[in-house]
Amino acid sequence: MDHGDVAWILTSSALVFIMTPGLAFFYGGLVKRKNIINTMMSSVIVLGIGSILWVLIGFSLSFSGDAGGVIGNLHWWGLNFNGLTDMTLPYPNTLGFAVFQMMFAIITPALITGAIAERMKFSSLVVFTTVWSIIVYYPLAHMVWGGGFLSQIGSVDFAGGNVVHISSGVSALVLAILLGRRKHYGRATYHPHNAPFVFLGAALLWFGWFGFNAGSALSSSALAIHAFMTTNTSAAAALLSWVLIEKLTSGKPTLVGAATGLVIGLVAITPGAGFVPIWSSVIIGFLVSPICYFFISVVKKKFGYDDALDVFGCHGIGGIWGGIATGLFAQKSINSAAAWDGLVFGDAHLFVRQLAAIGITIVIAVAGTLIATGIASLCTKGIKVAPRDEDIGLDISEHGESAYPAFNGMD
């Protein structure tokens, strides 16, 4: 056991963990003040569900054995392997690897919650998250990182473009459409109620993302350093690109816009962080902002779906661009896990497989979300809150709690 590698894996795990509370602040600041508790709780509850489910069955289904290239088995249920002395385990530092991967399994379903903010029953969300994790996340984690089908065809995903961002972004769109629009959507103007919270959340996400991407090297190595630098570079380029777009379109750059830009820059570089040259991360980050901005400002408006916090426009589209960009810029010399160089270096093999992996991920996400939503609706007698509860706000109607109570009698 290399103690330096173990230290980096555990440090990275802690960094990825802080991303989910960061997401709670990011999403919480974007909604109305009467819904911030519910929005933050939607991320907080996944800390519990995701952790316990991962220990019981998630890690085993993702990384133990192989059933048709689609999912693992339950041989390691309850993490019942000896990670200290068993030298036959297929993953180095297997229990540490399980800890690291658990943090990904937590934040991925939490990402979905931004699309359905301000209108979904909390009980329905609990059921949906549980089912979705089992039928969407664990199979995708196995197919990409556990030796399953998507890795077998030669596609690559360094830290979760398919597994995390495309799966959650596409699922968020489907769930938002199934749930329906907010009561006053299209008639009322929605503004973030707390821009400093949005930036606080984005800053925590940026900080944690160094563990997310650089930690995916699974060692304290040159590859980890490379992924760290591509991650920061893409985030910075996307931040500047988004601010430039706002300046050109509205004349005023915003804090929320800068926060949005840096996050989608992180999304875009995730699948290629350990495969693409550092110079290409400038291109990847700079281009993701106009691509996502177009989907948020034009496509969303044209089709009229109520993706409340633009999860599909940021994570879905950003993840798709990141997967494509990996097929464009990857180099075998950076990471031998890529069997071919990218398209810009004259080889189309990886690029085609990246497109195939993206398409397969979308199909799995759509089908799994339909099933998980149906089960949640049956269990909770519908998934949308009553119109009166939506008017009151979900903080009071779902939790009996207010983030900003009057101070009379409380001091």
pLDDT of residue 83: 75
CATH class entry, domain 3-390: mainly alpha
DSSP type of residue 298: I
Q: Are 289 and 242 in contact (CB under 8 A)?
A: yes
Q: How confident is the model at residue 91 (pLDDT cuts 50, 70, 90)?
A: confident
**Mean pLDDT score across all residues of the chain:** 95
Per-residue pLDDT of 206-217, as tens digits, reads 999 999 999 999
Mean pLDDT of 327-346: 97
pLDDT of residue 408: 55
Per-residue pLDDT of 167-216, as tens digits, reads 999 999 999 999 999 988 877 778 899 999 999 999 999 999 999 999 99
Helix spans in 270-348 (H) = 278-294, 300-303, 311, 317-329
Nearest to 39 by CA among 114, 104, 112, 123: 114
pLDDT of residue 407: 58
pLDDT of residue 175: 98
